[in-house]
A and B are shown apart, each in its own frame.
Chain A
């Protein structure tokens, strides 16, 4: 097949690394309409469309791209929104390389990059939001099918709420923090996902008739029993919830953060705008981030933007095992983040005032594969060395938050302490109670959480409908 399409993705405008590493504005600036159409033309519209099966919510990718190519943005956004309530978010934060783009036929051809599906999704969503009339207002539906409570206004909760509202349910989301959005608000930084975009997508969901009640910690502010009395079904999407620490000596020194705290201060609380905003953050000169997932990239790049002279990542495995999204890794490299592979901290060393001043590390080597299928890192005896650092951010993952779970003993948990839920429906051990997202799977991605929400919305609808018939 002699195909006459450009081998590479249509280049996209980005802030220059030297410039962006000093501000919190979005790194990727997005396509123009022309560029987007050019990129849309790289899509073969192949009959097998493997991209769709790579998408956790099975978006009709060729469909929205074709509409875009025909300059029919209304149709394009309509297709997107029928599968995905948060396209502007997913276009920005999905790991496309291991999902849709990873399966793209064009990308499988020699020397060809896949179609920039994520960038096109983002383009269509942004275009529709900034051009009045492109997107049809939501259809008015009669709200008469029942009442559903959603716990947690993160990606999975918002998805369930939106889907059920469209079907005619009265949905209330209870959110513990003062703003909806979950990890999109407190976790993912402004330079990757501007908060105005999250607010815009949440507003669109509220316009479907969904009520969002902030400042409600379920299990504390109201009990699960009270909710069960009032609602026909419950969806729990509270997120993974509680940071893990290395638990090595010096963990409680000043200047040692969990990535959750560091990023929450910056993103949700706007500490990077202190003192205009009240919440403070320490400014590290030499910052060590432990871990190499997306959260670690976000933390190290945020530290740089706050004013760090040097921002380093230490990771106990090698570059190959790094779990971060490839685009974030590239951006981090471009911005000058220093990577120390096969390195693990063993102690944080403090000064006489209780501030961290150095990280004692040990060199690692890869041994036999472990349960995750990746080769297990083992310390090399006697290889300890010291990195000077006045700030440490641990980004080594999370465990289940117990605040709600401890008040709901009937709910069956799995070995790891997360909620046991049917992967196809989200049904839990308690009738009428569904769960999905990180509180079921442990820390995963935004789109997987949304996928779980989609399935649960369907199952909740079926459950309530059949119960009301009976």
Chain B
């Protein structure tokens, strides 16, 4: 069992938790994820590791409530336990000295991006970070990202902070400015990653994206997580989750993410009925 040590609601529907998981913490690297199960009857869902504290044996998960499992997690308090936390899973990010790196994050994807930003900065890269969201308060972890970025650009749909627009607008702005980018990462909602990857392609920038398909085991056993990249079937849980953004079959991924839409709705409604409004 994996105890919750700290819990904070960051914004509406987004939570920040530290969890006791010493073995995961001692082996976690940027870009990896865990599979979580809340209870004996629970589903196994993947969540990216936002941070880790090797010394104390803790990992940090930042998640958005989207379905039954994440709502249930949000309901847990400090001292409560998760039934299972398995990891760190997946292939770590290819962090090395690239030169100038462009880090693009949105939603809770910013949490997954953060340890990669920190590592790239520590390795001596020039780090330019673009964080985007609908409105200012939904752009999370600004200070933490700023600390390890040479430049931090915020974009908001409503213009409440930074550039009024989306992350691709900021990408184009950097290009116009003549910024030479050696490598980019984009982590966030699938649709954001898709357009960031398309823009990166136009601008001739290689880009990593972190895919979030539906998973079961998370260890290469079932193929639920398969995605098509550069025409080949790959298992996101072991071959990824990071892939060459230029080669991802985005529409297929988005269709596959909707595979259990109806059941997910039933499950969530049943749960919300049982516990009352959140």
Contact = CB atoms under 8 A, between A and B. Distances in A.
A185 B68 CA distance: 24
Interface string B184-222: 000000000000000000000000000000001101111
B233 A251 contact: yes
A347 B69 CA distance: 35
Contacts of A251: 226, 233
Given A254-B256, A278-B42, A214 B217 contact: no
A275 B23 contact: no
A282 B214 CA distance: 14
A254 B68 CA distance: 21
Contact of B219 (A217, A247, A269, A270): A217
B141 interface: no
Contacts, number: 116
Given A177-B217, A241-B221, A403-B220, A275 B43 contact: no
B267 A280 contact: yes
A16 to B, nearest CB: 30
Given A178-B86, A269-B216, A402-B238, A221 B24 contact: yes
Given A252-B228, A274-B263, A278-B267, A221 B27 contact: yes
Given A220-B27, A269-B43, A282 B267 contact: no
Interface string B146-167: 0000000000000000000000
B87 to A, nearest CB: 7
B223 interface: yes
A258 B260 CA distance: 16
Nearest to B1: A215
A401 B267 CA distance: 32
Contact of B255 (A214, A223, A247, A254): A254
Contacts of B270: 275
A130 interface: no
Contact of B41 (A222, A247, A276, A403): A276
B146 to A, nearest CB: 31
A403 B259 contact: no
A354 interface: yes
A176 B217 CA distance: 9
Nearest to A398: B221
B173 interface: no
Interface in B68-104: 68-69, 83-89
Contacts of B42: 278
B37 interface: yes
A177 B263 CA distance: 24
Interface residues of B, number: 43
Contacts of A403: 219-220, 238
Contacts of B44: 178, 269, 279
Contacts of B266: 275
Contacts of B5: none
A178 B37 contact: yes
Nearest to A400: B220
A277 B270 CA distance: 11
A410 B82 CA distance: 36
A265 interface: yes
Contacts of B228: 252
B138 interface: no
Interface in A281-313: 282
A245 B234 CA distance: 11
Interface in B9-39: 23-24, 27, 37
B255 A261 contact: no
A241 B219 CA distance: 9
B275 to A, nearest CB: 14
B259 A278 contact: no
B264 interface: yes
Given A252-B226, A274-B263, A176 B252 contact: no
A294 to B, nearest CB: 18
Given A178-B83, A221-B24, A401 B221 contact: yes
Contact of B220 (A241, A264, A265, A279): A241
A15 interface: no
A346 interface: no
Contact of B216 (A241, A264, A270): A264
Given A261-B216, A279-B44, A222 B223 contact: no
Top 8 A-B residue pairs of the complex, sorted by shortest distance between their CB atoms: A280-B263, A354-B255, A261-B222, A278-B43, A258-B223, A280-B260, A215-B86, A279-B43
Interface of B: 23-24, 27, 37, 41-44, 68-69, 83-89, 216-217, 219-224, 226-228, 233, 235, 238, 249, 252, 255-256, 258-260, 263-264, 266-267, 270
Interface of A: 176-178, 186, 214-217, 220-223, 241-243, 245, 247, 251-252, 254, 257-258, 260-261, 264-265, 269-270, 274-280, 282, 353-354, 401-403
21 contacts: A176-B219, A177-B217, A178-B37, A178-B86, A214-B84, A217-B86, A222-B27, A241-B220, A241-B221, A242-B223, A247-B233, A251-B233, A252-B233, A252-B249, A260-B221, A274-B267, A275-B270, A278-B68, A282-B259, A354-B256, A402-B238
